[in-house]
Amino acid sequence: MRSSELEYELPRELIAQHPAPQRDRSRLLVCDRASGEVRHRFFADLPDELGAALVVVNDTRVIPARLPVRRASGGAAEILLLEPIGDGLWEALARPSRRLRAGEVLRPAGGGEAAAIELVAPIADGRWRVRLEGEPRGEPALPPYIHEPLSDPEQYQTVYAREPGSTAAPTAGLHFTPEVLARLDVERVTLHVGLDTFRPLTTETVEEHELQGERYTVDPAAWERISAAERVAAIGTTTVRVLETVARTGELDGRTTLFVTPGFGFRRVDALVTNFHLPRSTLLALVMAFTGVEQARELYRLAIAERYRFYSFGDAMLVL
């Protein structure tokens, strides 16, 4: 599949700059694959649409991974923490990467109590191994298409976030409220969102794109329920990757490099709740794999025509 097949035109005003005032009042575009019926609902209607399905969420918690720093020369730089390696070491994105040198110590741009960061060694493609003492004390790493600051960092957390470790939020879950959760049969898995989830496709074909892998874990009791469920609804593409990885490998803990593209055979996901994703993204490829390529294109055309809000703080889609 050519990466250009994941392109589409989106009016800039449909890129949501902030969450809906009430999470579950986000719009929900519902597509029934069996009948072809499409419905326009609100996220609060999700329990009525899913019925008795077991709902699986990704309970990762976003860390304050974006660290504005200054070099000894006074020049500005930025560190984006991707994942811990151990003993105070992290894998991170650093910019301007070409100007940075191993051994440099970067200080917090705003001063304060945040710890300095040592650049230990470059890895590749702007990634570095860095040393950070203590816990990150930066800012949430909002996507570059969001230009308005958050009034509250919790807006970029799901209400069920529990396990710290993600650079970005599993955004399909941002629509949930405690009230909606209480009406569903819910199970949890964890995938810490990192570079694989938000790195765009830069290769000519989708299949040439390589994943670095993201950390996941599933409790044995949770997997017992998930594997036995009659129907499973995955909340977000990260949850899909966990479920389909475990369904294939039986490994409840590790790293997944599973790349879901059109033609993929789903073994444990029967319904999908997802936001509207960027062009040329692995996330859009996954949605196309689940809905069918042409069906996905038609749903995106409809969402644009109906003025749905797109991307991280946008509206949602349910594919049954």
Closest among 275, 288, 283 to 209, alpha carbons compared: 283
Q: Find out whether 77 and 176 touch, Cβ atoms under 8 Å.
A: no
At 113 the pLDDT is 62
Sequence ranges of the domains in the chain: 3-62+142-319, 66-132
Strand-pairing partners, residue 57, are: 188
Closest among 57, 96, 55 to 73, alpha carbons compared: 96
Closest among 155, 132, 125, 127 to 142, alpha carbons compared: 155
At 112 the pLDDT is 60
Closest among 245, 281, 277 to 264, alpha carbons compared: 245
For the question of whether the overall pTM of this predicted structure is more than 0.85, the answer is: yes
Strand-pairing partners, residue 239, are: none
Q: Find out whether 293 and 285 touch, Cβ atoms under 8 Å.
A: no
d(CA 55, CA 35): 22
CA 289 to chain centre: 17
Closest among 174, 199, 225 to 26, alpha carbons compared: 174
d(CA 150, CA 137): 16
Q: Find out whether 39 and 299 touch, Cβ atoms under 8 Å.
A: no
Q: Find out whether 77 and 95 touch, Cβ atoms under 8 Å.
A: yes
Closest among 24, 18, 56, 20 to 43, alpha carbons compared: 24
Token look-up 């946008």 returns 314
At 124 the pLDDT is 83
d(CA 122, CA 280): 27
At 194 the pLDDT is 87
Query: Residues 11-50, buried b or exposed e (16+ Cβ, 10 A)?
Result: eeebbbbebbeebbebbbbbbeeeeeeeeeebbbbbbebb
At 294 the pLDDT is 95
Per-residue pLDDT of the chain (320 residues; tens, 9 = 90+): 999 999 999 999 999 999 999 999 999 999 999 999 999 999 999 999 999 999 999 999 999 999 998 888 888 889 999 999 888 899 999 889 888 889 889 888 876 666 788 999 999 888 899 998 888 888 888 988 999 888 898 999 999 999 999 999 999 999 999 999 999 999 999 999 987 787 888 889 988 898 888 999 999 999 999 999 999 999 999 999 999 999 999 999 999 999 999 999 999 999 999 999 999 999 999 999 999 999 999 999 999 999 999 999 999 999 99
CATH number of 66-132: 2.40.10.240
Fold of 3-62+142-319: QueA-like (3.40.1780)
* Pair type for strands 117-124 and 54-58: unpaired
Same fold flag, 3-62+142-319 and 66-132: no
